[in-house]
Amino acid sequence: MSRYKTGHKQPRFRYSVLARCVAWANISVQVLFPLAVTFTPVMAARAQNAVQPRLSMENTTVTADNNVEKNVASFAANAGTFLSSQPDSDATRNFITGMATAKANQEIQEWLGKYGTARVKLNVDKDFSLKDSSLEMLYPIYDTPTNMVFTQGAIHRTDDRTQSNIGFGWRHFSGNDWMAGVNTFIDHDLSRSHTRIGVGAEYWRDYLKLSANGYIRASGWKKSPDIEDYQERPANGWDIRAEGYLPAWPQLGASLMYEQYYGDEVGLFGKDKRQKDPHAISAEVTYTPVPLLTLSAGHKQGKSGENDTRFGLEVNYRIGEPLEKQLDTDSIRERRILAGSRYDLVERNNNIVLEYRKS
């Protein structure tokens, strides 16, 4: 077992003004998130009405009346069957609670079945390991033709560390011409209790996506279990990304990314390849045979000849969309234009890059 020197006094971490503001704003939004989820079915229903053509008042009234009649009839039948058994007070309470819970679960499942995107990403490196594999999900909280507020979460295991990411974002759509958006995230290392704040911006058009992200540490130095007599903390950094597709062959895509991190010993390429203020350029090509599946090959080139090559497999599942459509090659082009990529995930580095120092 590794042994560490004792008696080292860890310096008190001082937040920058920006980090404090972003952190408290993000925490406040996440505290209020349960309330937002409670009212989401109502907002989602309004948004759906705004997007879909309006029915005539007569048809809407008839449909609403029919739904009410069906619900009342169903409840009356269940209640009649229950009361015929002459239940006691406990049984009555359990019956009412069960009916309410079933209705709530039905509403939640129906809402989740109409919106959102889920992505399972499996990456294989040159050593055939599955590091950087992840599960990500995006759900709209408020959705209209011109504006969307969403939440996005992820769980992944990278460099033997289990990490989670939760964030919120806003996207504004100018018809079918362009989209501009902003987002903020809290990244947390569940294995080592590191925390980082992320802020980002997006700009999309048909067949083109541009984005930029900033990463600000929100936790201080901790003993490193990787290197004896060392400490570690999140490194500050940023990246810019461009992703494009060929209109004539929408199955083919390519992306470029430049990333920069700051610190005397930063493990951008891993704990054993620490560098001062490292940067890297990454290029990736993708092939999407069907909307559900994407194959990728990427290469990252950094300072002093450091590099990394990855091959990836992504399963991009649109919640609520028929599986037949997600396996239809003719639907690929729809995913590449602005209207079809509305619910695509925010592209960012979910992995907390670490900075190290001697204890």
- Given a contact cutoff of 8 angstroms between Cβ atoms, the answer to whether 31 and 23 are in contact is no
pLDDT, one tens digit for every residue, the chain (359 residues): 444 344 444 444 444 555 555 555 555 544 444 444 434 443 444 444 434 433 333 443 343 445 545 555 565 566 566 566 666 666 666 666 666 666 665 555 555 555 689 998 876 666 666 666 789 999 999 999 999 999 999 999 888 899 999 999 999 999 999 999 999 999 999 999 999 999 999 999 999 999 999 999 999 999 999 999 999 999 999 999 999 999 999 999 999 999 999 999 999 999 999 999 999 999 999 999 999 999 999 999 998 888 889 899 999 888 888 899 999 999 999 999 999 999 999 999 999 999 999 99
List Cβ neighbours of 288 (8 Å cut-off, separation of 6 or more): 250, 251, 253, 294, 295, 332, 335
For helices 89-112 and 57-83, what crossing angle results, to 10°?
Answer: 150
pLDDT at 130: 61
Is the model's pTM score more than 0.75? no
Instruction: Return d(Cα 71, Cα 103) in angstroms, integer.
Output: 11
The phi and psi torsions of 46 (rounded to 5 degrees) equal -65, -45
pLDDT at 310: 87
Instruction: Return d(Cα 313, Cα 289) in angstroms, integer.
Output: 12
Mind listing the pLDDT tens digit for each residue in 165-216? 999 999 999 999 999 999 999 999 999 999 999 999 999 999 999 999 999 9
Residue in the structure block whose two tokens are 């450091």? 306
pLDDT at 342: 95
Residues forming beta bridges with residue 239, ordered by sequence position: 213, 259
Domains in the chain: boundaries: 57-111, 115-358
Instruction: Return d(Cα 27, Cα 32) in angstroms, integer.
Output: 9
Count of residues for the chain?
359
pLDDT at 91: 66
List Cβ neighbours of 57 (8 Å cut-off, separation of 6 or more): none
pLDDT at 41: 43
Query: What topology is assigned to 115-358 in CATH?
Result: Porin (2.40.160)
pLDDT at 97: 62
